[in-house]
Structure formats: C-alpha cells, structure tokens
Amino acid sequence: MPHFLKETDFTARQAAAVFDLARKLKRERRAARPADLDRQTWALLFSKSSTRTRVSFEVGIHELGGNPLFLNKNDIQLGRGETVADTARVLSRFVHGLIVRTFAHSEVEELARWGSVPVINALTDFLHPCQIYTDAFTLAERWAGNGALFDSLRGRKLAFLGDTACNMANSWILGGSLFGMKIALAGPAAFAPGNEIRSLLEREKRPAEFLFTTDPFEAVRAADVVYTDVWVSMGKEEEKRERLAQMAPYSVTEKLFAAAKPDAFFMHCLPAHEGEEAAKAVLEHPRSIIFDEAENRLHTQKAIMATLAASA
C-alpha cells in the first residue's frame, strides 16, 4: 500500500510527477477531476489544531470527487484509549484514505502498518512533508520557466532560521536531500538537528549534506530562500518563555533578509507570529511568498492524493 509519511516515500521521479500534476491541477482547477477520488471518503484524523491543512485537504478531496470526513481525535474512541492498531483496522473498512495530524511520528507509521488504505502525514512532531512538497513546488513555479519544475530546485540554497530542531527543519533537511538543494540552518546550539533526523538520513543512505550554524548571517549568505517557522510548535507551549529568549537572535529582520541573495524569496509555513520569528516588514515584503505557499497546499495535496489513489 503506498503511503506518504515522509518526503522520501516518493522517489525523485515520482516527486517530479507530483509537481507536474500539481501544476496541471492548479491551471485546470475549474475543470473538475471527479474521477480521481470518485465517491471515495478520505478521513482527516487530527489531534492538533489546523487552518491550512484541514481546509486545503477538505476542499481538495471535494474537488477530486470524494467526500472528506473530519475526525477530531477526542471525538472518536481513540481519544478514550482505543488502540491505534484497532482504529486503523476499523477506519480502513470504511474509508479510502487517512490523513493524519498528530504528535508522535510513530503513530502515523502504526496507522500505515495496521491499516489497509493510504496514509498521509499531515504533520507530526518529526516531519511535515505535505508542506515541504508544497513549498518546493511554490519555488519551482518561479524558477522553472519553461523547464522542468523538479529540476529547477537542484543546487539552490535554502536558509532555515530559528527552531532548527522542529518538524519543518527536519523536513527541509530530508526534502532538500531529495530535491538536491543545499540546506543551511541557523539556530541556538541546543536546537541543532537531532538524532532522529540524522539516523533517518543514515538509514536511507542519504549523505547529511546540510550545514548547521549558530550564526544567522552565515546561513543566509548566498541563499535563494530564507525560511522560518514559529518558535513554539504545537505541544511545546510550556517551553515558550525560554524558547523566545533563546531564539530571539534568529528573528528574520529586514537586515537579515537583505543579507541573502538580492532576489531571494521569504517563506513561512504559517501561522506566523509577527515580531517573533519574522518582522512584519519581511512577512509583507514584495519577495515574501507566504500566501502562494498557503494556496499551493491545495494543488500539491490534490496531486499527492491522486497519485496515491491511482496506485492503491
């Protein structure tokens, strides 16, 4: 059964096809493609809040001819202790796909192991692959011209600032290795990329070609993209005060953004905390593409679902 739990669950060739399909779906959005998920029901099983992910998946499933079923963890028996394995086996008898947002990455792996329908990772504490594919597609739209979307990413440099141990940082490290991008991360020493992502790279025999530094200006030098994320991810609220203090030097100010390439883009997966991880002037900068990123969640995830449904 095909799943999308991490960036490298698709090969480079498959990822390139996903980008091409996303572009086609974006161009032809008004020409419905109800055959892709024809009368299927895809469940969204969420244990954390969401605006973009939930709405883009629900709209996307509808546009592909399917029916989205939103399940808050606490509204189903999973929230009262029914096992993940039983939940996976029961839901697989009813629905055609599971889109899961949760804390432990092992939970999406367990759902995939026990279920018999495709599982999509819609964010765990470890990875956020739907966001990374969308972000890469958003950049490729700008860089590819008439060439191939996927190939336009190769050799580009992305600087990731702030919480360099979070899901988005891990996902850029893994996604960057698939896309052939150079990833430079700058954050406090205590937030250096951890063992979980390093051992995944090792297991997949991917050279860990990312750079980690505590100097934000070193990371953004010659960068094509400056990327940041919230300093307090979902589930880390108790650490808020110390995180804000430790990460303050990594705020994307106008001065820091200006130290990247003159045509660099600014990206943020959102939601943003203005004045914390990025200045208002950067979020609103003419080269900030944060709302294109948000929109492209729809097109990219439709391409991911159609791809999985076709091979399920």
Q: Is 234 among the residues that bind ligand NVA (CB under 6 A)?
A: yes
Whole-number minimum distance, CB 52 to ligand NVA, in Å? 8
Exactly one of 9, 163, 224, 229 is catalytic; which is it?
229
Site stretch for ligand NVA (CB under 6 A), options 138-146, 152-160, 163-171, 259-267: 163-171
292 is an interface residue for ligand CP by CB under 6 A: no
128 as an active site residue: the answer is yes
Residue closer to ligand NVA by CB (options 21, 127) is 127
Query: Residue 186 or 269: which CB sits closer to ligand CP?
Result: 269
Asked if 86 is an active-site residue, the reply is: no
Contact 187, 162 (CB under 8 A): yes
Indicate whether 304 belongs to the interface with ligand CP (CB under 6 A). no
Look up 113 and say whether it is catalytic. no
Q: Which of 268, 297, 299, 301 is catalytic?
A: 297
* Residue 269 binds to ligand NVA (criterion: CB under 6 A): yes
- Distance of closest approach, residue 191 Cβ to ligand NVA, in angstroms: 12
User: Any catalytic annotation for residue 156?
Assistant: no
Neighbours of 165 (CB within 10 A): 19
Q: With contacts defined by CB under 6 A, name the span among 172-180, 192-200, 226-234, 285-293 that binds ligand NVA.
A: 226-234
- Our answer to whether residue 142 is catalytic in this structure is no
Picked from ligand NVA, ligand CP, none, the partner binding residue 102 (CB below 5 to 8 A depending on kind) is none
Q: Residue count at the site for ligand NVA (CB under 6 A)?
A: 9
**Binders in 38-67 for ligand CP, by CB under 6 A:** 50-53
In the complex, which residues of this chain contact ligand CP (CB under 6 A)? 50-53, 123, 131, 269-271
In the complex, which residues of this chain contact ligand NVA (CB under 6 A)? 123, 166-168, 229-230, 233-234, 269
Q: Which residues are catalytic?
A: 101, 128, 131, 229, 269, 297
